Structure 1
Amino acid sequence: MTETTAHAPVSAEQATREQELTDRVVASFEDAPDARLKELMQALTRHLHAFIREVRLTEAEWEKAIAFLTAAGHITDDRRQEFILLSDVLGASMQTIAVNNPAAGNATEATVFGPFFVETAPEIPNGGDIAGGASGQPAWVEGTVTGTHGNPIPNARIEVWEADEDGFYDVQYDDARVAGRAHLYSDQKGNYAFWGLTPAPYPIPHDGPVGEMLAATNRSPVRASHLHFMVTASGYRTLVTHIFVEGDPQLDIGDSVFGVKDSLIKPFDTQRVGIPTPDGRDLGEQQWARTRFDIVLAPAN
């Protein structure tokens, strides 16, 4: 009797040796005092060993994997998180989001957090401007924040952040600028509005090990145009999501981190020069766009 793989036959004796090792490692976590930690470590061991056995991992490949993870650690700092990037391009981030954000009626769908959120984004008033000097076409974004039964949610904290028209977030520049990000609060009727920028497609950072992996596997690093949101309110599940630009060609090509959902694709309607802005802002001869994003929060728990 032999146990076959996609690579070469494995004798019954060899398969038994490999399984015995897996069983010993799994058993080593049996006395872990935290039941959840025990579950995680034992499942990780089983799946990791199963992967190694399925692909018949070579020692050279193992060494290359260790070097890859080491390089990811070296390039990570307080402004760049290569391991989040790795999680994103493997779809692990989106799968974790799917597991932790089950469907709840008409609640807005969640998507990836991304590596460029900053906790210290400035506060702007409702109707303010998040651009902070970032380049791009001005875009008026408005909507409501409600619960799944349509009840308005006042004072919801809305964090928003995005790249400029060149595809860079403020933290990717070396001059400590704060641009393209802010937070604001919904009003007593659950309404919110702000000026941002019409999102543009851009590549995720691909000058490190994750980029090398994408190139080696003939995958594009480009993300579909998007604007990030994180919305929090007492009694409701925190929502991390984006909105995407309807008509963006990258939507047909694919999003490098698998974050696109049809419900999050919104029209950004370009307005002719001279069309009055919702708040009376004078944009001179500059075109602008507007979109609407009504946010529905799921109840906590």
Structure 2
Amino acid sequence: MDFTVETATDAVVESFRQTKGQRLRQVMESLTRHLHDFVRDIEPTTAEWEAAIGFLTAVGQTCDDTRQEFVLLSDVLGVSMLVETLNGSDEGTESTVLGPFHMTESPLRELGDSIDLLGTGRPCVVSGRTLAADGTPLPDTELDVWQCTEDGFYDVQQPDVQPQGNGRGLFRTDDQGRYWFRTVVPSHYPIPTDGPVGRLLEATGRHPFRPAHIHFIAHAGHHRPVTTHAFVAGSPYVDSDAVFAVKRGLITDFTESYEEQEAERFGVTVPFTHATFDIVLAPEAESAR
């Protein structure tokens, strides 16, 4: 078969006919059809296609042990959130993107510990419960938490300023599914703009900012894990997140508290900021058990 504009797609799809894995074959056939349709629609010049290959090469070359530019590209194109939404559950807390900064292992911490190792801002207490879809508390749930500083930087972005593990913690809920830890209120911040993804945003007139948030990953036995955020209510960019991750149900009040007894219980002084964020986990699918 001659390889022409009209026959190209069928020729490539046919080349995958002997693929042993049914799912892999489905993926490659669909990818081929959609990609070929895209090329026919755009009709790129050779120079434009070379520029596209160069862009993807630069994205890969920007990745290292503490930075994931391909995740960032997936995020700003809305692909990460689309995948999360397709795989989410109506029974549990809404899921959001992992983001490019979950690149180091969070240190083990005890309930009530502070993940703020700098100690420069007003103390903030984050507390809540992990629950099953029917409202039953989920004890011994693993909570992986990470966030930026009040100035908008993650520890991996400032290795000479922040101690490793600052803003991160791995907790387990108590026998009633409760958790609490001390921190600072995070800031809104720009995603990294010094790489190819940043240049793409600039070229397309898009801002790079994310609203203030705290990341969570929750794991409990016989339940589906969830990756989510607690977004700070009233934060700039809460209506225009550069990675499309904001969901209304995840916007959380961070309120000023003068409650002396609460402050003493959490090991802080008044005034402090308090946020309550419950996480509901959907049941694990039967086929996964």
Which residue does the alignment assign to 1:149?
134
Give, as a single letter, the amino acid of the residue that structure 1 aligns with 2:175.
Answer: Q
Please say which structure displays the higher CA radius of gyration. 1
Alignment match of 2:238 (pick from 233, 240, 251): 251
- Cα offsets for 1:244-271 (capped at 9, x unmatched): 011113113x000000000000100023
Shift of 1:90: 0.3
Matches within 5 A, 1:43-54: 43-54=30-41
Determine the C-alpha separation between the residues in 1 that align with 2:246 and 2:277.
15
Alignment match of 2:44 (pick from 54, 57, 67): 57
Shift of 1:57: 1.7
Which residue does the alignment assign to 2:276?
292
- Cα offsets for 1:55-80 (capped at 9, x unmatched): 11221111111111111111110110
Q: Would you say the 8 A contact 1:153–1:189 is kept in 2?
A: yes
Q: Would you say the 8 A contact 1:224–1:255 is kept in 2?
A: yes
CA gap 1:65/1:275 in 2 versus in 1, 3 angstroms: farther
Determine the C-alpha separation between the residues in 1 that align with 2:52 and 2:165.
36
Determine the C-alpha separation between the residues in 2 that align with 1:151 and 1:274.
30
Shift of 1:143: 0.7
Alignment match of 1:158 (pick from 143, 155, 165): 143
TM-score by length of 2: 0.92
Alignment match of 1:281 (pick from 254, 259, 267): 267
Give, as a single letter, the amino acid of the residue that structure 2 aligns with 1:144.
Answer: R
Alignment match of 2:14 (pick from 3, 22, 27): 27
Determine the C-alpha separation between the residues in 2 that align with 1:40 and 1:278.
56
- Cα offsets for 1:118-164 (capped at 9, x unmatched): 45211111111111226543211111111000111000000100001
- Residue 168 (1) aligns with residue 153 (2): yes
Which residue does the alignment assign to 1:103?
90
Matches within 5 A, 1:89-238: 89-104=76-91, 107-118=92-103, 120-133=105-118, 135-175=120-160, 177-238=164-225
Alignment match of 2:53 (pick from 40, 48, 66): 66
Determine the C-alpha separation between the residues in 2 that align with 1:28 and 1:210.
33
Shift of 1:228: 0.2
Shift of 1:275: 8.2
- Cα offsets for 1:29-66 (capped at 9, x unmatched): 11011111111111111111111111112211111111
Give, as a single letter, the amino acid of the residue that structure 2 aligns with 1:182.
Answer: G
Q: How many residues end up aligned between the 2 structures?
A: 281
Shift of 1:287: 4.4
Which residue does the alignment assign to 2:250?
264
Q: Would you say the 8 A contact 1:134–1:164 is kept in 2?
A: no
Structure 2, unmatched stretches of 5+, are none
Shift of 1:92: 0.4
CA gap 1:100/1:61 in 2 versus in 1, 3 angstroms: same
TM-score by length of 1: 0.89
- Cα offsets for 1:194-218 (capped at 9, x unmatched): 1122121000011000000000000
Q: Would you say the 8 A contact 1:139–1:195 is kept in 2?
A: yes
SS at match of 2:5: helix
Which residue does the alignment assign to 1:9?
none
Q: Would you say the 8 A contact 1:125–1:184 is kept in 2?
A: yes
- Using the aligned pairs only, state the percent identity: 43
Determine the C-alpha separation between the residues in 2 that align with 1:102 and 1:20.
41
Shift of 1:281: 2.4
Displaced runs of 4 or more, over 4 A: 272-276
Q: Would you say the 8 A contact 2:59–2:195 is kept in 1?
A: yes
